[in-house]
């Protein structure tokens, strides 16, 4: 028979679905700001393999000549991003939910198995709780990155008043570089996340919205337990 199983807490779902549009606004307004001074690239010496960003990308996104709007959006929505993120971390710590999320000493070995399995190697999946080892590592890293984005962002925003923070992050230029690559990390995470969610199927997605899924339980086991 089937029973309802709670997959995600109400609070977790709210934090997640609020964060998605807010982080999108932060990334897009960040792009508007970055356009005004866009020095980063992948390359060595005089050879540039990829410049962030090519003209076609700015044309596609309409990011050119929008610095003032970008800064305003960024410094308005940063509040919501920070408050939602801090509330999530506090909730996770206080409720004990962090135990389902934080990686343990087996996670890195198991995550390698999960990754091998996911790309098609005949490796059995290790036993897992709510999240598998790869998810534990990735989701914890994303939360950590959120905190770092906040710190590097503040270091770029107020390098004079928060000079100690800017200095601790390597200075103004480095803090901006770190802030940029953290954002690239979110974009990379997002692409993989979407692919994995699509693969996991509808029931998994529905559980992130409504919190529940059906679970098949063994009748005999249930009866035995009941006795």
Partner 1 sequence: MAIKAKSAKSPLTPEQELARRSRRSFLALGAGTVGAVAGAAWIHSQMGADDIPPSLRAVLGLNERVVRTTLYSDKHLVRTYPASAVGRIKVNGEIGMDEPIDAASWCLDLAPLGTPARQLTIADIQSLPRYEEIIDFKCVEGWSTVTQFAGARLSDFTAKFAPGSEKAAYVAMRTPTKDYYVGVDMPSALHPQSLLAYEMNGKPLEDRHGAPLRLVMPVKYGIKNIKRIGRIEYTNARPADYWAEQGYDYYSGL
With contacts defined by CB under 8 A, name the span among 62-70, 95-103, 110-118, 142-150 that binds partner 1: 62-70
Nearer Cβ to partner 1 (39/129): 39
Q: At what angle do helices 107-118 and 133-157 cross, to 10 degrees?
A: 100
| Nearest distance, CB of residue 100 and partner 1, angstroms | 20
| Nearest distance, CB of residue 150 and partner 1, angstroms | 15
Of 124, 113, 144, 131, which is closest to residue 207 (Cα–Cα)? 131
211 with 7: CB under 8 angstroms? Answer: yes
With contacts defined by CB under 8 A, name the span among 47-55, 95-103, 134-142, 207-215 that binds partner 1: 207-215
The only residue of 64, 69, 90, 197 in contact with partner 1, by rule CB under 8 A? 69
* Binding of partner 1 by 33 (CB under 8 A): yes
3-state secondary structure string across 152-213 = HHHHHHCCCCCHHHHHHCCCHHHHHHHHHHHHHHHHHHHHHHHHHHHHHCHHHHHHHHHCEE
Of 77, 78, 70, 69, which is closest to residue 31 (Cα–Cα)? 70
Nearer Cβ to partner 1 (128/161): 161
The only residue of 48, 106, 128, 161 in contact with partner 1, by rule CB under 8 A? 161
Count other Cβ atoms within 10 Å, centred on residue 153.
23
* Binding of partner 1 by 86 (CB under 8 A): no
Handedness of CA 121, 127, 131, 136 (dihedral sign): negative
- Helix, strand, or coil here: 122? coil
Count of chain residues binding partner 1 (CB under 8 A): 42
* Binding of partner 1 by 47 (CB under 8 A): no
State the residues that interact with partner 1 by CB under 8 A: 1-4, 13, 17, 21, 33-34, 36-37, 39, 67-69, 71-73, 75-76, 79, 158-163, 167, 172-173, 176, 206, 209-214, 219, 222-223, 226
């Amino acid at each position: 028979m089937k029973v309802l199983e709670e997959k995600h807490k109400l609070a977790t779902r709210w934090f997640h679905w609020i964060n998605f549009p807010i982080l999108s606004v932060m990334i897009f307004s960040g792009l508007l700001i970055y356009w005004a001074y866009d020095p980063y690239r992948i390359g060595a010496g005089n050879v540039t393999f990829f410049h962030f960003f090519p003209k076609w990308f700015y044309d596609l996104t309409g990011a050119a000549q929008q610095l003032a709007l970008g800064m305003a959006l960024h410094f308005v929505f940063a509040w919501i991003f920070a408050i939602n993120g801090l509330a999530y971390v506090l909730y996770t710590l206080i409720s004990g939910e962090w135990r389902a999320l934080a990686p343990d000493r087996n996670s890195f070995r198991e995550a390698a198995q999960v990754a091998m399995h996911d790309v098609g190697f005949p490796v059995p999946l290790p036993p897992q709780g709510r999240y598998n080892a790869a998810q534990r590592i990735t989701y914890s890293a994303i939360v950590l990155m959120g905190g770092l984005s906040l710190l590097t962002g503040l270091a770029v925003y107020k390098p004079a008043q928060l000079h100690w923070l800017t200095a601790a992050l390597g200075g103004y230029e480095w803090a901006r570089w770190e802030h940029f690559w953290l954002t690239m990390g979110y974009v990379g995470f997002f692409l993989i996340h979407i692919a994995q969610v699509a693969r996991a199927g509808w029931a998994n997605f529905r559980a992130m919205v409504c919190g529940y899924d059906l679970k098949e339980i063994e009748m005999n086991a249930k009866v035995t337990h009941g006795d």
